[in-house]
Structure 1
């Protein structure tokens, strides 16, 4: 096996694949990265048995040569050292060669590294999912679906199903929902001519976070395939496979209040910055609690009180305030997380009382919903 490759191309692919490699795996060969060399291009593979990532570098694309002097073959290389070696090589091209005794030589300029490789035949084969039943959506839309929901997954293993994001495709609508039982985030997008439907697909939050880091901000399509225990995201040069979580995701629609008693419309950034300042004194508190009180003349007062440290109060003017007066306490962190993902200037917040969950939505977009359970303060 032998090839010469552009170093920048190799670094980019290695960084993507490293997101699936863990030093804490029970299967020793999975601490390595598989390199598969064919005349049409190079495939790098990493897996920790939860996530598997394949990155493909074509030998030539759009008239640009990425890989040359190719002799076909495969090897598994030690992932602990390989990325740092590649990153620090002196020249723009890298030559990698493996001999029949699984010795790997990496050359660039006057630098030469020799590593012990492992037999690629021992590396587990990734399942090739059927691609008939697939759904295709633009990459940037998938990234926004992930970003606007994944932060709300649970970090507690007591209810493992809540550590994932529930993905549904029904009636040509794709929806992502995440909840840790104290808050909920959901977003839906229309999908044209979807030939498949699924509902109880729960992808680990960790998998989606890593996928989001790898995907580029483009409108290129991502293909999504689902089987009973795995989900595949595929782009032109990337193959990202994740296991699904076992169990039934709770029915979250009944958590969402149908009517409201107090409704306010406010500038997203104004509210976000006010809560951010109020939370400065609540940082050490377990819940990081701030209190919102409605005043007359379309004014809200945001306060935080920490007996040992002090008190902060700030007023924020809202665009409109309808319904009953309200005093409600909530986690500043949850509120900031929710507001940061809403890419709109103005939000509508609907309350149904001081102890009931409240809803935050962009004023002009019903497809994004954030729900927060208030905190009881005495």
Structure 2
């Protein structure tokens, strides 16, 4: 194998596939990056068997030559060393040559590295995905869907299914739901899809986070293919495979209250900053809890009290309060996470009592909601 390639393009490809490579793997060859040179260009692959990422660097793009392939072939190189080498090479072009016995030469300017390669034949094959259930969404919308839900997945392995985000496709609509059983994040998006089939899968939160990091903020379409145990995201020159979590996701529709006893409308930013200030003294105490109560004359009071440190009280004006008076306590962190995920300058919080879950929504937007369980503090 022998080819010359633009360093920046190679580095970008390596950094993308590195997101799937881990040093903690039972299959030693997966600590490497697979490099395949064909007449069309160079393909890089990284995998930890849960996530696999393939990045393709075409021979030329927009009339500019990126890769010159002199001899086709394939090799697996140690990811840790290869990525560090590429990052620090001195010139804009890199030549990679594989000699007999998998000895690999990486040349750039006057710098030359020799690496021992591994046989690419031994690298596990990527999952074969039959493209039957395909839908597509713009990249920037996909990134929003991930950002507005993935933070609410569980980090505890006691219920593995909750470490993923439930994606449901039905009636040309995608619904993404994440919950750790103390809070829930839900976001819907309309789809332009041909399939009428409904699907429900659970994608690991970790996979979605990594996917989001790789994708650029563009309006280009990402094609999404769902099979029984894999999901594939296809973007320009990039394939991202993730395994799906097995098991049934809990029926979250039951958790979301239909009616409310108290509705409060507040300015999102003002409320977020007030919660942030109240949490300054709550952090040391148990679970970072703040108290929220309605006060006469359409204001709300946010406070926190940690006996050994001190207390903080702040009142903010609300746009409106409808219904019963209310005192409730909740995790400041959960509330701040939820507020950061919502778009819009005003939000409505709907309470159904001091010990029942409450719902936060942006005004005039039904596509997104956040739900939080209160904390007992008496």
Q: Normalization by structure 1: what TM-score? A: 0.99
Shift, 1:252, TM fit: 0.1
1:258 aligns with 2:266: no
Alpha-carbon distance in structure 2 between the residues aligned to 1:256 and 1:101:
62
Alpha-carbon distance in structure 2 between the residues aligned to 1:369 and 1:192:
22
**In the alignment, what sits opposite 1:64?**
64
Alpha-carbon distance in structure 1 between the residues aligned to 2:69 and 2:192:
44
Q: Structure 2 unaligned segments of length 5 or more: list them.
A: none
Residue correspondences, number: 378
Shift, 1:30, TM fit: 0.4
**In the alignment, what sits opposite 1:175?**
175
Alpha-carbon distance in structure 1 between the residues aligned to 2:94 and 2:279:
51
User: Aligned to 1:151, what secondary structure does the other structure show?
Assistant: helix
Pairs within 5 Å for 1:108-257: 108-257=108-257
Q: Is the 8 A contact 2:178 2:186 kept in 1?
A: yes
Pairs within 5 Å for 1:13-162: 13-162=13-162
Alpha-carbon distance in structure 1 between the residues aligned to 2:365 and 2:56:
38
Alpha-carbon distance in structure 1 between the residues aligned to 2:326 and 2:206:
37
Shift, 1:133, TM fit: 2.4
Shift, 1:70, TM fit: 3.1
Deviations 1:330-352 (A, max 9, x none): 00000000000112111111001
Shift, 1:68, TM fit: 1.4
> Which deviates further from its counterpart, 50-59 or 124-133?
124-133
Q: Is the 8 A contact 2:166 2:203 kept in 1?
A: yes
User: Aligned to 1:80, what secondary structure does the other structure show?
Assistant: helix
Shift, 1:298, TM fit: 1.4
Q: Structure 1 unaligned segments of length 5 or more: list them.
A: none
CA-based RMSD: 0.9
Give the 3 Å change call, closer, same or farther, for CA 69–258 of structure 1 in structure 2: closer
Alpha-carbon distance in structure 2 between the residues aligned to 1:66 and 1:220:
22
- Structure 1 stretches of 4+ moved >6 Å: none
Alpha-carbon distance in structure 2 between the residues aligned to 1:141 and 1:176:
12
Deviations 1:53-91 (A, max 9, x none): 000010101111111143110000010111111111111
Shift, 1:129, TM fit: 0.7
Shift, 1:39, TM fit: 1.4
Alpha-carbon distance in structure 2 between the residues aligned to 1:333 and 1:237:
38
Q: Normalization by structure 2: what TM-score? A: 0.99
Alpha-carbon distance in structure 2 between the residues aligned to 1:130 and 1:114:
39
Shift, 1:194, TM fit: 3.5
Q: Is the 8 A contact 1:289 1:375 kept in 2?
A: yes
Alpha-carbon distance in structure 2 between the residues aligned to 1:358 and 1:183:
9
User: Aligned to 1:313, what secondary structure does the other structure show?
Assistant: strand
Q: Is the 8 A contact 1:154 1:162 kept in 2?
A: yes
> Which deviates further from its counterpart, 297-306 or 64-73?
64-73
1:362 aligns with 2:362: yes
Alpha-carbon distance in structure 2 between the residues aligned to 1:351 and 1:120:
58
Alpha-carbon distance in structure 2 between the residues aligned to 1:337 and 1:265:
18
Deviations 1:344-375 (A, max 9, x none): 11111100110000000010211101000000
Give the 3 Å change call, closer, same or farther, for CA 141–234 of structure 1 in structure 2: same
Shift, 1:132, TM fit: 3.2
Q: Is the 8 A contact 1:134 1:196 kept in 2?
A: no
Alpha-carbon distance in structure 2 between the residues aligned to 1:146 and 1:330:
24
Alpha-carbon distance in structure 2 between the residues aligned to 1:268 and 1:118:
54
Q: Is the 8 A contact 1:169 1:196 kept in 2?
A: no
Deviations 1:213-244 (A, max 9, x none): 00110011111111111110011211000000
Alpha-carbon distance in structure 2 between the residues aligned to 1:377 and 1:371:
19
Deviations 1:137-191 (A, max 9, x none): 1111111001000000000100000000000000111010000000000000111
Q: Is the 8 A contact 1:354 1:374 kept in 2?
A: yes
Alpha-carbon distance in structure 2 between the residues aligned to 1:182 and 1:320:
27
Give the 3 Å change call, closer, same or farther, for CA 376–354 of structure 1 in structure 2: same
**In the alignment, what sits opposite 1:332?**
332
